[in-house]
């Protein structure tokens, strides 16, 4: 059973546009939600993360929006650039289970110049 | 500062053989986790070690084992390799043992033939 559901599977955005990737979870015990960016042949790189006591967190062009009641969170990439073309993964973890992350299935983002 | 380092970067093994993968965490980090990433999917949790003790184990067979050394480096061992073990094996380093940011290495690409 997929603990974290991610959509869309792929996304094509024009340069300068906004990329939006969505994730949903069921387990209300999750309390840490990171987003990772992965380029082909590389390990995932931590982009930004949020805890459920805030509804939004922004770092540069990347923003996480968090809706605790809906059990959903999303990544917004503003002013998308061709260099942002990569696969993005959402993830979730909960304190009692150590640092075990449950990952979404990934979104392949392509930014067209 | 050195990030998470994994060795080797690529490996080809024959079905039935044994393999050992190695990981050195970020200096000062005491937690190491191992993940398996099959092509086109998100990483799947295998093990977490914190302060040399196992903190978590994912849904993987007993052919998979790991350990953490006094310098916090770690090894992942896989016995009796199957074709289905072919994947990117990722090591993640964290400063704490629970519910905190994790930084991934570049991974070891294992191919079983």
Distance from CA of B90 to the nearest CA of A (A): 7
**Mean of pLDDT values over A36-50:** 95
- Is A100 within 8 Å of B104 when comparing Cβ atoms? no
Q: Which of A100, A105, A106 to mutate to test the interface with B (most CBs of B within 10 A)?
A: A100
HSE-CB of B69 using CA atoms within 13 angstroms: 9
- List pLDDT tens digits, range A47-68: 999 999 999 999 999 999 999 9
Cβ-Cβ contacts under 8 Å, B50 against chain A: 98-99
Residue reference for tokens 């393999």: B19
Percent of chain B topping pLDDT 70: 96
For residue B84, which phi and psi values (nearest 5 degrees)?
-70, -10
Distance from CA of B41 to the nearest CA of A (A): 5
Token pair for residue A70? 């809906």
pLDDT at B40 over 70: yes
Across the A/B interface, how many CB contacts are shorter than 8 Å?
Answer: 80
What pLDDT score does A94 carry? 85
Cα distance between the two ends of chain A: 38
Residues whose CB is less than 8 angstroms from the CB of residue B55 and which lie 6 or more positions away in sequence, other chains included? A98, A99, B31, B48, B49, B97, B98
Distances in Å between the alpha carbon of B83 and those of A44, A45, B10, B42? 24, 28, 16, 19
């Amino acid at each position: 059973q997929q603990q974290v559901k991610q959509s869309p599977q792929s996304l094509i955005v024009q340069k300068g546009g906004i990329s939006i990737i969505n994730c949903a979870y069921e387990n209300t015990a999750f309390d840490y939600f990171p987003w990772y960016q992965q380029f082909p042949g590389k390990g995932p790189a931590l982009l930004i993360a949020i805890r459920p006591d805030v509804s939004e967190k922004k770092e540069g062009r990347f923003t996480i929006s968090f809706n605790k009641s809906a059990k959903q969170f999303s990544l917004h990439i503003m002013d998308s650039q061709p260099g942002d073309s990569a696969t993005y993964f959402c993830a979730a973890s909960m304190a009692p289970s150590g640092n075990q992350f449950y990952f979404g299935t990934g979104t392949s983002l392509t930014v067209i110049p | 500062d050195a990030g998470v380092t994994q060795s080797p970067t690529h490996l080809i093994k024959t079905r039935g053989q044994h393999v050992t993968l190695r990981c050195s965490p970020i200096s000062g980090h005491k937690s190491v986790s191992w993940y398996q990433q099959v092509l086109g999917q998100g990483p799947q949790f295998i093990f977490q070690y914190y302060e040399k003790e196992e903190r978590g184990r994912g849904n993987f067979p007993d052919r998979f084992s790991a350990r953490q050394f006094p310098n916090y480096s770690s090894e992942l061992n896989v016995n009796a390799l199957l074709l289905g073990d072919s994947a990117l094996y990722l090591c993640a380093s964290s400063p704490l043992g629970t519910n905190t940011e994790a930084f991934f290495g570049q991974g070891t690409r294992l191919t079983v033939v």
